[in-house]
Amino acid sequence: MLLESVPMSEGRAQGEKPWEQHLEVRFCLVGSPKPPRAKAAILDLSTEGITLLTTRRCVPGAYLAIELHTPAGRVLEKMVGRVQKEQKGLTAGDWVVECAFLAGLSRRGLPAATKLT
């Protein structure tokens, strides 16, 4: 997985991946009584895992409930990921979080996530 950091506020039009404009990620710790609310940008996405850029710190070993949302707010995919690695982002307060999916992203979910609209 990719472990680079680009400030969340910085636009990335050149070389931008398809999902960067069309998906919103929300997550929370597994077992949290509240639905996923923390937001993140996707740096990398595959059927095995996801790398997120967020302002929330996530300890390696923690389990996250992750949701991929369309721009209209519809939940496209829900999965559980285990934090493999975290590192500070380039901008103060940003964190790069690498997660491995427990069950993997569905074959249906990855093409839908990467489809340009």
Provide the whole-model pTM: 0.74
Which pair of structure tokens corresponds to residue 60? 């390696």
Domain 19-106 belongs to what topology?
Answer: Thrombin, subunit H (2.40.10)
Cα–Cα distances in angstroms (integers) from residue 7 to residues 11, 18, 22, 25, 96, in the given order? 8, 18, 18, 16, 10
Between CA 58 and CA 11, with CA 70 as vertex, the angle to 5 degrees is 65
Domain boundaries, the chain: 19-106
Give the pLDDT confidence of 55-82 residue by residue, as tens digits: 999 999 999 999 988 888 888 889 999 9
Give the pLDDT confidence of 98-112 residue by residue, as tens digits: 999 998 776 555 555
CB 13 within 8 A of CB 20: no
